[in-house]
Amino acid sequence: MSPATRGDITEEITRTRLDFHRTVDGASVADLRRPTNGTRWTNEQLLFHMLFGYLLVRNLMVLVRFFARLPGAVSRHFAAGLNAATRPFHFINYLGSLGGARVLGYAGMERLMDRVTQHLQSSLANETDDGLNRGMHFPVGWDPYFNDFMTVKDVYHYATQHYDYHRRQLTLRNTR
């Protein structure tokens, strides 16, 4: 269930952006390269994956707005097709985070987090109430926070759910 207002979503995005900065800035390189709790990633790889959740939402908005204008059966079939590709998705998702932090660097990840969250907050502020309530069917096998049907508002909130879940898996000493 997503927050009641766009203000709630805006605040949670700000909270995670600030937490991301504190987490990256407060960790040593050795801590960032330590294994996480419950994933095969290191802390730096998981942090990139957490950032990637916000990047994914920015791109998902294009799909949601498109499919929301079509009959529900169209997005239901699209989601079923994506569900059929769950295994390759998880493999690509895993591989994609392996080098992200090393390619971008820690400062680059922070700059990208700032840009993507500011974009999402600006986009959210410009959404109409009708637009926030439009939605589409999602591939529930791809993520535990994907529901069969998600509204634009749900998708904005998804990024923070994803972030908060993975935040608990970090094993950094000074940022828990």
The pLDDT tens digits of the residues spanning 83-108 come to 898 888 878 888 888 888 889 999 99
| pLDDT at 144 > cutoff 80 | yes
| pLDDT at 55 > cutoff 80 | yes
Residue 80 banded pLDDT, cuts 50, 70, 90: very high
As a whole number of angstroms, the distance between CA 147 and CA 109 comes to 28
Q: Please tell me the predicted confidence (pLDDT) of residue 171.
A: 97
| pLDDT at 74 > cutoff 90 | yes
Q: What is the pLDDT of residues 156-166, one digit of tens each?
A: 999 999 999 99
Q: What is the pLDDT of residues 103-136, one digit of tens each?
A: 999 999 999 999 999 999 999 999 999 999 999 9
Domains of the chain in start order, with CATH, are 6-167 (1.20.120.450)
What pTM did the predictor assign? 0.91
Contact in structure between 16 and 117 (CB atoms under 8 Å) = yes
Query: What is the DSSP code string of the chain?
Result: ---SSHHHHHHHHHHHHHHHHHHHHTS-HHHHTSB-SSSSSBHHHHHHHHHHHHHHHHHHHHHHHHHTTS-HHHHHHHHHHHHHTHHHHHHHHHHHHHSHHHHHHHHHHHHHHHHHHHHHHHHHHH--HHHHH-EEE--TTT-TT--SEEEHHHHHHHHHHHHHHHHTT---SS--
As a whole number of angstroms, the distance between CA 89 and CA 71 comes to 26
As a whole number of angstroms, the distance between CA 38 and CA 169 comes to 6
| pLDDT at 139 > cutoff 50 | yes
Q: Please tell me the predicted confidence (pLDDT) of residue 175.
A: 54
Q: Please tell me the predicted confidence (pLDDT) of residue 176.
A: 46
The backbone region for 105, taken as left when phi is positive above 0, alpha when psi lies in -120 to 50, beta otherwise, is left
Summary mean pLDDT of the chain: 92
As a whole number of angstroms, the distance between CA 30 and CA 173 comes to 11
Q: What would the mean pLDDT of 39-62 be, rounded to a whole number?
A: 94
Q: What would the mean pLDDT of 1-6 be, rounded to a whole number?
A: 67
Q: What would the mean pLDDT of 72-77 be, rounded to a whole number?
A: 94
Number of C-beta neighbours around residue 123 at 10 A: 14
Residue 136 forms beta bridges with which residues? Answer: 150
Of 9-13, 15-19, 83-87, 156-160, which gets the smallest average pLDDT? 83-87
Q: Please tell me the predicted confidence (pLDDT) of residue 99.
A: 86
Angle at 32 between CA 30 and CA 35, to 5 degrees: 95
